[in-house]
Amino acid sequence: MAITTRGFGGRRAPAEKPLPPGQFLTEDFPVLSAGPTPNVDEAHWQFSVHTESGEVRRWDWAALMAMPVEDVTTDIHCVTRWSRFDTQWRGVSVDAFFEDVESEAEFVMVHSYGGYTTNLPLEDLLDGKAWIAFEHGGEPLAPLHGGPVRLIVPHLYFWKSAKWVRGFVMQEHEEPGFWEQNGYHLYGDPWLEQRYA
C-alpha cells in the first residue's frame, strides 16, 4: 500500500496522468451546493425527459433499478480548481434514457430537485459520456453529494454534473443554466480551461 502525505492544497498529480491546467489534486470529496440539500427519497424520486414536441417519458426508482447498471471509474474536475482521480460510481448510462425518445433538438437543460439547472449539448450526454448515478464508492449516494440520484458528466467541469437530478428538457436553442447565467462558461471543458464566460 502506498502511503502519501498530503500537504495543504493537495498533492501533485502523478507524472503518468496529467491534470487539466490550473487544477490541484485532492483526496477529499468537497461539497459544493448553491442552496440547501433537497430532501428527495427513493420512493418519491422521478426522472423525466421532455421533448420539444411535448412528449414526456418518465422513470421511477423501480424503473431505474430495472435498467442496465454500469460501474464507472473516472476523474472529476471542479471549476474551483480541485480534481479527484479515479472516483467510483454506479449508475445507468444516459444513452439508455434516450433509447425511445424522438427529438431533433440538439441541446438539453438539466433540471434538479431544488431548482438547480445546467445546460449541455445533447451529444455530451450520449455515447457513454454521462451517467445517472446512484452509488459512489460502493455506497448509496449521500444526500449532500446529490443522493439519491445525480448526473455525472466527467469530461466537463463538475458543475455540469447536476445533483438531485429530476429531468432533461430538450431545447432547440441553447439556454444558460444556473451557473452559466452567473458567469460560468456555457460549455465548460476543463482541458481548455473554459471556466468563465
Residues near ligand MTE (CB under 6 A): 29-34, 78, 112, 114, 116, 145-146, 158-159, 161-164
108 contacts 120 by C-beta, under 8 angstroms: yes
Give residue number: closest CB to Mo ion: 78
The type of residue at 128 is G
In this complex, which beta carbon is closest to ligand MTE, that of residue 59 or of residue 113?
A: 113
Q: Which position among 45, 89, 116, 159 is part of the footprint of Mo ion (CB under 5 A)?
A: 159
For the bound state, the minimum distance from the C-beta of residue 121 to ligand MTE, rounded and expressed in Å, comes to 18
Interaction of residue 31 with Mo ion, rule CB under 5 A: no
Q: Is 81 left (phi over 0), alpha (psi -120 to 50) or beta?
A: left
Pick the binder of Mo ion from 13, 78, 122, 142 (CB under 5 A): 78
Q: Is 65 among the residues that bind Mo ion (CB under 5 A)?
A: no
Q: Which residues are within 8 A (CB) of 139 and not within 5 positions of it... i.e. 6 or more apart? A: none
Fill in the DSSP letter of residue 161: S
Helix (H, G, I), strand (E, B) or coil at 45: coil
Peptide bond into 148 cis (omega under 30): yes
Which residues of this chain interact with Mo ion, rule CB under 5 A?
32, 78-79, 159
